Chain A
């Protein structure tokens, strides 16, 4: 086997050194009745070239060469070449969690840079070094708010990504955190503020919203924060389309931001790995889940970085930890860091292109029906109510090698079968938009 660096004579010599007659001696503690005496039923051993061919065959059975208008929490953006150049370096790719800071400064400094950029973009004071993804990050943020406030309930906007809400339900149920959902205003697609106000009680730990929300609409974060804070609840803002932060005001009124940073240079990759992250006000530091990289000095006074405040974490606190998370998404956070370094302040230009493409797409494709929720600003997504069902429209589009918007009835039955969620990014071309509009005309 080509990954195994031993010759048969090495193995024999080592067994002799150990004083074992055969390798089976080393498995003697396994009761005989449990030893597997047959080959595993897995594919036979493949050569490297065969492995590649195998996966090329898988890849060809997927959408290849299609134009896509799908977003909905997984966004296609251009990935600068430098990202893979950097993360392919074995020193980053094949290192462990930086428990030995003296020989992990590369990872640690990059994480510190990541945390800084996330703070800067979100308007929060501190950030952790990543969570699994946006959905689990939002759920962990809610549990964090419960610990901070000593209150119990969560009020959640229905405009938060439906799959994030499902994950929250799974997490919240055994923490006895009652979850109330608040509807949106049908004119704007934003949280209905009056209903929100009514839903918050003295026991509400937090309000969870998403902005831009699942419909692509930008929420009135300041107004929502005022309502939440007036009743002593924290405001958690989830962000699924991180590129929006280049042109949309950061949710500085929030107490906690739980975001998905996938848009920052991470492939859509059939849903993962992505990069969740929690950022918040510094006063909530002790309740923050996950790893934190912090600055310090070595014995000679030189600046360096370490994982810090680990008394919050499972390996010290065990069942009293702020979360059970251990391995997070470090290499993906590095992808994000490289992406954000390449664009830097230019994130604004990139976000503006997204705005322009989506605006053009909404005008052009919107001509085939009605763009809903016109009463509020949008980023790079819009909801289209077509003249035929979204399924029928998408079937016609597929014939022209176009993947249309995401049909919404599955998540929002009240919107009916004709609505779908469309996304246009800097990768979407005018020709693709025009072609889609032509099919739908």
Chain B
């Protein structure tokens, strides 16, 4: 692949990669990959039992044998990059190692096959897992109460802002607006809207942090809360967090913390100690439950005493006899945010992670995460623009300013990283940095792997000077080159159809519903 590189990629080389059609294209009538157990009750006539409601045709559902299915999905898997293959420097995503013992314990029969409606007397083990996890997360966050029900970070935000709303309503006025810094993740404003609040934008100061004077100006009796990420999305701790909390509290408003960046704090600093009233955690970030190509996640919400009465039902409680129970009698509750108790399988994995670490391991984890980010910063700040000079915690945000002079953008360099055997960093977020390159190594990377990333990024910076086209047209070594996202959106093809019928959706009918 010589001519595709200016330097040498130390981490990657090309190898044979198998092609694989869609499963439907591989199907042929009469093949089977299953055999049912013998029916031990009398067979029934479905048409007689169901009448008009009986189904006779299963359309394009595939027919294949077991070996073909194994190969199909195994081949597809080889087209993915993953933590198990190398570093995922995606800022804000905390792509850390996912301990394999977590997968094993999550599949233990008494846990994986526990039915959510089985009697409490036969559910003490699952409830204990929820209890120990809850207690651990409460000490980690320094908060008073918690719900594990939300299914992901954004769902946690929704739950947390519902608590805020219920709290203000209990004081007679739900208030009107939620303040959100311009550096915030998109889920924050989207959440505020779902809970019926207006979003008021809070402009960051020259350091990319909360502008206290601006905050002071904006907070009034209509402000329900500020949704703040700390460390912020530029990876910097809001040192004046206590003043932020004071300004809000003086006007009766609350401080919500988006806990996406807790990997910088666990065991070192507790949000409950610095004035946060309510926050969510991402078990699929900080607590190592696997991302699985986009979920499942889990977004527990922890809060101070004042918000406890409003937690979603049910709430875990201890009975007089010491057994655990689920308490549904919560008259001030915001209601349910999800059926049952949350993504329980993720609770098991997160607790297994906490057990494997213990207090010493969790602290060391945080320190290593911060060490890694600062190491990358020190080794790269001479080749990439660093828009904000404040000390970094667990992630560092550069910009493409120096390379953009040659027409090379952050997205191009992210794509070029794929050629060097890495996933891209987070591109174009946060919005307050033009051409942001947001890098979060996590604690899971060895010095050697970090050095490989540094080497790759330095080579890319050199290529941006010497051969910008090479970067602008990257990737060059992946099984597919850049994909046409514009056509994908203009003429959406969202399902497979047998060849004769395969036409894109007509833009006309789609456009009418904009």
- B125/A61 in contact, CB under 8 A: yes
- A113/B24 in contact, CB under 8 A: yes
List residues of chain B with CB within 8 A of the CB of A20.
374
List residues of chain B with CB within 8 A of the CB of A201.
none
Contact of A299 among B153, B368, B482 (CB under 8 A): B482
Q: Does B101 contact A (CB under 8 A)?
A: yes
Stretch from B33-41, B212-220, B399-407 that touches the partner: B33-41
Q: Does A231 contact B (CB under 8 A)?
A: no
Contact of B493 among A23, A167, A295, A298 (CB under 8 A): A295
Stretch from A151-159, A171-179, A191-199 that touches the partner: A171-179
Of chain B, the residue at the smallest CB distance from A313 is B186
- A377/B49 in contact, CB under 8 A: yes
Min C-beta distance of A136 to chain B, whole Å: 6
With A42-B136, A283-B510, A319-B190 as known contacts, state yes or no: A430 contacts B41, CB within 8 Å.
yes
- A23/B77 in contact, CB under 8 A: no
With A46-B358, A106-B79, A218-B50 as known contacts, state yes or no: A293 contacts B494, CB within 8 Å.
yes
Of chain B, the residue at the smallest CB distance from A404 is B119
- A58/B125 in contact, CB under 8 A: yes
Of chain A, the residue at the smallest CB distance from B297 is A327
With A30-B268, A250-B55 as known contacts, state yes or no: A117 contacts B61, CB within 8 Å.
yes
- B41/A106 in contact, CB under 8 A: no
Min C-beta distance of B78 to chain A, whole Å: 6
**A92-B78 Cα distance, complex, nearest whole Å:** 9
- B113/A324 in contact, CB under 8 A: no
Q: Does A415 contact B (CB under 8 A)?
A: no
Contact of A170 among B37, B157, B334 (CB under 8 A): B334
Q: Does B132 contact A (CB under 8 A)?
A: yes
**A19-B374 Cα distance, complex, nearest whole Å:** 10
Stretch from A120-128, A181-189, A202-210 that touches the partner: A120-128
Q: Does A387 contact B (CB under 8 A)?
A: no
Q: Does A320 contact B (CB under 8 A)?
A: yes
With A18-B374, A100-B415, A299-B481 as known contacts, state yes or no: A113 contacts B268, CB within 8 Å.
no
Of chain A, the residue at the smallest CB distance from B75 is A106
Contact of B118 among A18, A63, A127, A273 (CB under 8 A): A63
- Interface readout for A69-87 with B: 1 if CB under 8 Å, 0 if not? 0101110101010101111
- B293/A132 in contact, CB under 8 A: no
Q: Does A306 contact B (CB under 8 A)?
A: yes
- Interface readout for B254-296 with A: 1 if CB under 8 Å, 0 if not? 0000000000001111100110000000101000001111111
List residues of chain A with CB within 8 A of the CB of B424.
99-100
- A102/B483 in contact, CB under 8 A: yes
Within 8 A of B (CB), among A123-158: 125-127, 129-130, 132-136, 148
A–B Cβ pairs within 8 angstroms, 22 of them: A10-B447, A29-B237, A29-B390, A31-B274, A36-B273, A44-B358, A57-B125, A58-B126, A59-B111, A82-B33, A93-B103, A94-B84, A101-B480, A103-B418, A103-B423, A161-B339, A246-B55, A283-B510, A320-B193, A326-B154, A330-B293, A347-B61
